[in-house]
Amino acid sequence: MGVTSPYPRENIIAGNYILADMQAYLDKRYRQQNKEILIRHSPGIGECFFVFKYSINRKNKKIFIRGL
């Protein structure tokens, strides 16, 4: 599989290039998927959820402090 040569050093170099190329391809594909996810789930929804979650935690803490 892949590029082979009678010289082991060249096999290693060719293998490294193939691995590096594959890694670059996967990184690009991963970034593309992240962009699609960011477009689908707009930051506004995430921010609202975060603020909502944070405000619930704050209310719970206040109630707990009043209980003491």
pLDDT digits (tens, 9 = 90+) for 26-67: 777 666 666 655 545 545 444 444 444 444 455 545 444 444
Which tokens is 45 given?
């929804």
Residue 19 pLDDT greater than 50, yes or no: yes
Question: So what's the pLDDT on residue 67?
Answer: 44
Hey, CA dihedral for 9, 10, 13, 15, is it positive or negative?
negative
Question: So what's the pLDDT on residue 65?
Answer: 47
Side chain identity, residue 22: M
- Domain-by-domain residue ranges, the chain? 8-67
DSSP classification of residue 2: -
Question: So what's the pLDDT on residue 68?
Answer: 45
Residue 22 pLDDT greater than 50, yes or no: yes
Per the CB < 8 A criterion, the answer to whether 60 and 66 are in contact is no
